[in-house]
Amino acid sequence: MILYEGLEKALKEKGIGKTELSSATGLSSRTIAKIAKGEKLSQRSLKKIAEYLGQKPEALLKEVSENKILQILRDEKEIKLSGGLYHELQVRMTYNSNHIEGSKLSEAQTRLIFETNTIDAGDGVPVDDIIETMHHFRAIDYVIEHAEDVLSEEIIKHLHYILKHDTKDAELSWFAVGDYKKRANVVGGRETAKPDEVQGRMRKLLERYNAIAAVTFEDIVAFHAEFEAIHPFQDGNGRVGRLIALKECLHHNVIPFIIEDRKKIFYYRGLSEWRKEKGWLIDTCRDGQDTFIKILDMLDIPHE
User: Would you name the residues annotated as active-site residues?
Assistant: 231
The DSSP call for residue 58 is G
3-state secondary structure of 191: strand
269 labeled part of a ligand binding site: no
Q: How far apart are CA 195 and CA 184, in angstroms?
A: 6
Q: How far apart are CA 83 and CA 74, in angstroms?
A: 14
169 labeled part of a ligand binding site: no
267 labeled part of a ligand binding site: yes
240 labeled part of a ligand binding site: yes
**Measured on CA atoms in the order 11, 14, 19, 20, is the torsion positive or negative?**
negative
242 labeled part of a ligand binding site: yes
149 labeled part of a ligand binding site: no
86 labeled part of a ligand binding site: no
Are 247 and 151 within 8 A, CB to CB? Answer: yes
241 labeled part of a ligand binding site: yes
Q: How far apart are CA 185 and CA 191, in angstroms?
A: 7
Q: How far apart are CA 283 and CA 8, in angstroms?
A: 48
Binding-site positions: 235-242, 267-268
Binding-site positions for ATP: 235-242, 267-268
